Amino acid sequence: MNQNSTEPSVSVETLADVPEHVLKGLPEEVRLLPSAVDKTRLGVWATKPIFRGRKFGPFAGDKKKRSQVKSNVYMWEVYYPNLGWMCVDATDPEKGNWLRYVNWARSGKEQNLFPLEINRTIYYKTLKPIEPGEELLVWYNGEDNPEIAAAIEEERASNRSKRNSPKTKKAVQSLHTLNDQISDFIMNKAKALSEDDNTFLPNEKDTLKNSMALMRHLLMDAQAGP
């Protein structure tokens, strides 16, 4: 070995490198500290107990083709019917959120999170309770892991229940009604718009008011959740 040669310097992440929006987006039960599994990276550590089944996300990043991604450390692949397989890449901290800093588990024993795809977005879900002082670590070992398979089936059952709930059905019906009203207005009553309020007939104003009211209800339903 050439004693005059120097080892390439390794960049070490610090809190100064973390974008402000990431720090502001941290849940209250976690914080960023140097990782125990990768000394060059920050990690996400629990500051309060986190119960089993807690869901975090979605994972944020740039949507790219696989050939455009330089590293697979900070990305997940998702299949889009109209685009095929695409990557959600958080290599650039400015494009990601705090989930970017969750590190890979080195074994199934230390894994406490698993990835979950919902509507073509990636979430992390706790596989077991996480105590204060433990680092959040994720790995994808598929549905061949009985615990993960059970957790995924539990999530699927929950989503089926939400889709069939009366509140969801009511929101869908409201959406159909809104769509019918807007379609009727566009097809049969639309005219050149001007700043003059008299452009609209009374029944047209009522249609718009009703549509806006329905939209507000839909937004309230969406914010309240199923």
**Could you tell me the CATH superfamily of domain 15-164?**
SET domain (2.170.270.10)
Mind listing the pLDDT tens digit for each residue in 162-200?
A: 666 676 666 666 666 766 666 666 556 555 444 455 555
| Number of Cβ within a 10 Å radius of residue 102 | 20
DSSP single-letter state for residue 43 = E
Could you check whether the bond before residue 226 is cis, i.e. omega within 30 degrees of 0? no
Which is more confidently placed, 116 or 15? Answer: 15
Query: Mean pLDDT across the stretch 134-162?
Result: 75
3-state secondary structure of 150: helix
pTM for the model: 0.66
pLDDT in tens, 62-103: 999 989 998 889 999 998 888 899 999 999 999 999 999 999
Domain locations in the chain?
15-164, 166-223
